[in-house]
Structure 1
């Protein structure tokens, strides 16, 4: 699977969030949240890039994917958090180094990227995860959550593995 390693500066985001399990993701809870967000997106002021929407999944410590909830956030980047629409939340993504993978097809294909990252990529490379989150970027290549023609980038925060002493 192809990847690239990049540095990204801090981002301020405004959008909607909910806590979900992987089973609820399969039941379209995150897709429904995304649809709700898209219907309200125009309420957000100070948007930096109107072509990008960010989906941020944040795991709790000691996350168990079979049972635990994680936070799913969907929103856009802004240059100021001074005007947050009613019932929306803000999120700050720190500056970091990221490994970026792209996947094609429906949103359910993201699971293959996660599987590859944890079962192969982290073992074969000199990096480890440096955060409990990942970011999906939906831009002009994203044609919808069910489209075979969609292309989505997933960013995972990383840092060099620390040497054993």
Structure 2
């Protein structure tokens, strides 16, 4: 599973976020709050959804380390933001983009490959920018045929 390397331009996102850890994962709760309200977001650029994680500098990949997770869509403008939703400007930069096929419950295997095999053997090091996944409009986390793009920030 070789990634493609992309230079991403900044993206304007609108959505909601929650603090969580891997051991206290609230991803399902976050998306259950966002999905019923997704149609309220104006100026959408695509039908895709973006699940973004902000780990912060020197974040420790441990089960109890806190991070911020966002459920968002990309927009062309921040002009109309629904109540109780927020804006976020994704920085952009160089990313390694992997394709995960299968249910979300199998994503740990893909992540293990990315961080345990590919990254240490590549010419890249992990950057301290946002990590995110691009989920197609009809994405279902339990679908065995689901596909998603995993965007990992890298630098040389």
Alignment of 1:142-153 (within 5 A): 142=139, 144-153=140-149
Q: Which has the higher Rg, Structure 1 or Structure 2?
A: 1
Partners of 2:91 and 2:129 within 8 A in 1 = no
Distance 1:75-1:93 versus aligned 2 partners, 3 A rule: same
- Residue 13 of structure 1 corresponds to 13
SS in 2 for 1:24: coil
- Residue 59 of structure 2 corresponds to 63
- Residue 152 of structure 1, CA deviation: 0.9
Q: Pairwise CA RMSD of aligned residues?
A: 1.5
- Residue 163 of structure 1 corresponds to none
- Residue 138 of structure 1, CA deviation: 0.4
Deviations 1:70-101 (A, max 9, x none): 11101100111122111111111112111011
Instruction: Identify unmatched segments of 5+ residues in structure 2.
Output: none
- Residue 72 of structure 1 corresponds to 69
Q: For the residues of structure 2 that align with 1:132 and 1:108, how far apart are their CA atoms?
A: 24
Q: TM-score, normalised to structure 2's length?
A: 0.91
Distance 1:70-1:126 versus aligned 2 partners, 3 A rule: same
Deviations 1:122-142 (A, max 9, x none): 221111122243111001562
Alignment of 1:35-114 (within 5 A): 35-49=32-46, 51-64=47-60, 65-114=62-111
Partners of 2:58 and 2:128 within 8 A in 1 = no
Partners of 1:4 and 1:101 within 8 A in 2 = yes
Q: TM-score, normalised to structure 1's length?
A: 0.87
Q: How many residues align?
A: 155
